[in-house]
Chains A and B, each alone.
Chain A
Amino acid sequence: MGLALLIRMGVGIVLILALAPVIMMYLTWLERKVIARIQDRFGPTRVGRYGLLQPLADGVKMLTKEDIVPAGADHWLHTLAPIVIVVPVLMLFAVLPLGPRWIVTNLNTGLLFFLAVTSTQTIAIFMAGWGSRSKFSLLGALRTVAQLAAYEVPMVLSLATVVMISGSLSTTAIVEAQQARWFVATPWGFTAFVIFLLCALAEVNRTPFDLPEAESELVGGFHTEYSGMKFALFYMAEFLGAFAISALGAALFLGGWRGPWLPGWLWVLVKTYGLVLVMIWIRGTWPRFRIDQLLAFAWKCLLPVSLTNVLATGLWAVCPWPWGTLAAVVLIAAAFLTTSQLWIPKSCKAPERVVS
């Protein structure tokens, strides 16, 4: 029994490590294609049919590029940062379920594990930014710390509602709890899903929250001083992080492997790629936030609304049917309207000075 479990986990680990680079490579292809279409271009077309071999060509190119380390940099931090950022992202896949029994390690604290491991990203990015000893890198790293810290609180609060109703931290148990209806189909679940999606964009540094690597103002942000394979590893972490957090959203709010006709694992993939496409779509259509707007949005809008959402979830569960739903909707709407009136007028004004 124990040996069988170990073998299963071993197979799962090998599969994760073999498939993750492939997933990442084809996410870059998908993103370039979709963004190109949004911008009325074709995207990669030259290498292979539909540019399908483009990621391989990019990989070879990255491998043969010189690894440049700035003269004054902290060598150890500079080299360790890409390793420290990729390993936790790969570990995230251990708690993402493809089916009731298709999970590498079925932790009963799976969700907490996921949140804890994602938050180590901050450390790696700061290592990269500080270790490079370049102004652009350091500015990018400082912004990252402020941003990831700000968006982690509403994210964790919004996921707490899912834990309240399903009564478990295990990702498989949470999917099982959505037998009657997906969590996104409830007033609190919908609010939590929207907050989660926004925070997920911020956590994986994607537009409109990509200030840590804002290329039009900070050159490359925290990875300005990286080249070659180390640079590629940061992208790997970003794309795999986007994929993993989409898969988490699919499991927690969209019913995971539940769905008609298709086999369960296929449903998981359909929902995950659906969320990934939403992320790409947002990148193709939205401009970037300014740093003061970004922080105001997290602290003054998302945080109060997600706090209220926890209360609304409690009311929804405690009160009998029409009243619980009604109370939840009214509470959430009131919180959103009040906070937005308080922060939007100030945030839309141009600041006198936005530096560092």
Chain B
Amino acid sequence: MGQGLYTLNYLGLAMLAAAALVVPLLPILLARVIAPKKPGSTKQSPYECGVPAAGDPWSQFRVQYYLYAIAFVVFDVEVLFLYPWAVVFKSAGLAGFAAMAAFLLVLAAGLVYLWQKGALEWD
């Protein structure tokens, strides 16, 4: 397949993304016509097991979530570096393998550090 023809694939993906909007939009719009509409203050209050809602849910939450998120960003970026290497792994030979092994050891050291520091503990 030539380069010009190959870029057509991306046009195909764009077409699919646009056409795929029909699948969620059609039933939502159809339901809008068919379904009854009777809003009320009790019905529209946020669900809290039948008692009146106390406090605003849009408030502070555990800092632990941020720690996991930061760890995720670090590892995800490093993993992205792994992919181009993985594609050429066979032709990179022993030197390429050794270089990536060293990189993985650094990653592993980072994981050990996180673990030691207690960043992976929930409580």
Q: Using CB atoms and an 8 Å cutoff, list the residues of chain A in contact with chain B.
A: 1-2, 5-6, 9-10, 12-14, 16-17, 20-21, 62-73, 79, 82-83, 86-87, 90-91, 94, 104-108, 112-113, 130, 132-138, 142, 145-146, 149-150, 152-153, 156-157, 160-161, 163-165, 167-169, 219, 224-225, 228-230, 232-233, 236, 291-292, 295-296, 299-300, 303-304, 307, 310-311, 314, 317-318, 351-354, 356
Query: Quick check: A228 and B16 within 8 Å, CB to CB?
Result: no
Out of B16, B32, B38, name the residue touching A13 (CB < 8 Å).
Answer: B16
Query: Quick check: B46 and A167 within 8 Å, CB to CB?
Result: no
Query: Quick check: B72 and A149 within 8 Å, CB to CB?
Result: yes
Out of B1, B47, B62, name the residue touching A356 (CB < 8 Å).
Answer: B62
Query: Quick check: B79 and A156 within 8 Å, CB to CB?
Result: yes
Query: Quick check: A160 and B86 within 8 Å, CB to CB?
Result: yes
Distance (whole angstroms) from the CB of A193 to the closest CB of chain B: 17
B35 CB contacts on chain A under 8 angstroms: 63-67, 228-229
Out of A304, A311, A352, name the residue touching B101 (CB < 8 Å).
Answer: A311
Using known A-B contacts A149-B68, A156-B79, A354-B122, determine if residue A135 contacts B48 with beta carbons closer than 8 Å.
yes
Distance (whole angstroms) from the CB of B70 to the closest CB of chain A: 10
Query: Quick check: A132 and B76 within 8 Å, CB to CB?
Result: no
Using known A-B contacts A66-B36, A94-B13, A307-B108, determine if residue A156 contacts B76 with beta carbons closer than 8 Å.
yes
Select from chain A the residue with minimum beta-carbon distance to B16: A13
12 A-B residue pairings within 8 Å (CB atoms):
A5-B8, A10-B15, A72-B46, A90-B23, A94-B13, A149-B76, A157-B79, A167-B91, A296-B122, A299-B114, A304-B108, A311-B101
Out of B20, B27, B120, name the residue touching A87 (CB < 8 Å).
Answer: B20
Query: Quick check: B87 and A163 within 8 Å, CB to CB?
Result: yes
| Cα distance A157–B85 in the bound complex, in angstroms | 12
Query: Quick check: A67 and B23 within 8 Å, CB to CB?
Result: no
A91 CB contacts on chain B under 8 angstroms: 13, 16-17, 20
Query: Quick check: B104 and A310 within 8 Å, CB to CB?
Result: yes
The list of the 10 closest CB pairs from A to B, nearest first, reads A292-B122, A134-B46, A9-B12, A149-B72, A163-B86, A229-B31, A90-B20, A105-B9, A164-B89, A71-B44
Distance (whole angstroms) from the CB of B29 to the closest CB of chain A: 9
What would 18 more interface pairs be, CB under 8 Å, given A71-B41, A94-B13, A167-B90?
Answer: A2-B4, A13-B19, A20-B23, A71-B45, A82-B28, A83-B21, A83-B25, A134-B46, A134-B47, A135-B48, A146-B69, A156-B79, A157-B82, A165-B89, A224-B47, A291-B122, A296-B122, A299-B111
A83 CB contacts on chain B under 8 angstroms: 21, 24-25, 28
Distance (whole angstroms) from the CB of A240 to the closest CB of chain B: 10
| Cα distance A330–B89 in the bound complex, in angstroms | 22
| Cα distance A136–B49 in the bound complex, in angstroms | 10
A165 CB contacts on chain B under 8 angstroms: 89-90
Out of B23, B89, B122, name the residue touching A351 (CB < 8 Å).
Answer: B122
Select from chain B the residue with minimum beta-carbon distance to A104: B12
| Cα distance A65–B22 in the bound complex, in angstroms | 20
Distance (whole angstroms) from the CB of A158 to the closest CB of chain B: 10
Query: Quick check: A2 and B83 within 8 Å, CB to CB?
Result: no
Query: Quick check: B58 and A133 within 8 Å, CB to CB?
Result: yes
Distance (whole angstroms) from the CB of B111 to the closest CB of chain A: 6
Query: Quick check: A314 and B46 within 8 Å, CB to CB?
Result: no
Out of B31, B38, B94, name the residue touching A63 (CB < 8 Å).
Answer: B31
| Cα distance A291–B61 in the bound complex, in angstroms | 15
Distance (whole angstroms) from the CB of A255 to the closest CB of chain B: 20
Query: Quick check: B86 and A150 within 8 Å, CB to CB?
Result: no
Out of B58, B82, B123, name the residue touching A352 (CB < 8 Å).
Answer: B123
Select from chain B the residue with minimum beta-carbon distance to A16: B16
Query: Quick check: A94 and B16 within 8 Å, CB to CB?
Result: yes
Distance (whole angstroms) from the CB of B88 to the closest CB of chain A: 7
Q: Is residue B75 within 8 Å, beta carbon to beta carbon, of the partner chain?
A: yes
Query: Quick check: A94 and B23 within 8 Å, CB to CB?
Result: no
| Cα distance A150–B65 in the bound complex, in angstroms | 11
B90 CB contacts on chain A under 8 angstroms: 164-165, 167, 317
Query: Quick check: B122 and A303 within 8 Å, CB to CB?
Result: no
Q: Is residue B117 within 8 Å, beta carbon to beta carbon, of the partner chain?
A: no
B17 CB contacts on chain A under 8 angstroms: 87, 91
Query: Quick check: B48 and A63 within 8 Å, CB to CB?
Result: no
Query: Quick check: B76 and A152 within 8 Å, CB to CB?
Result: yes
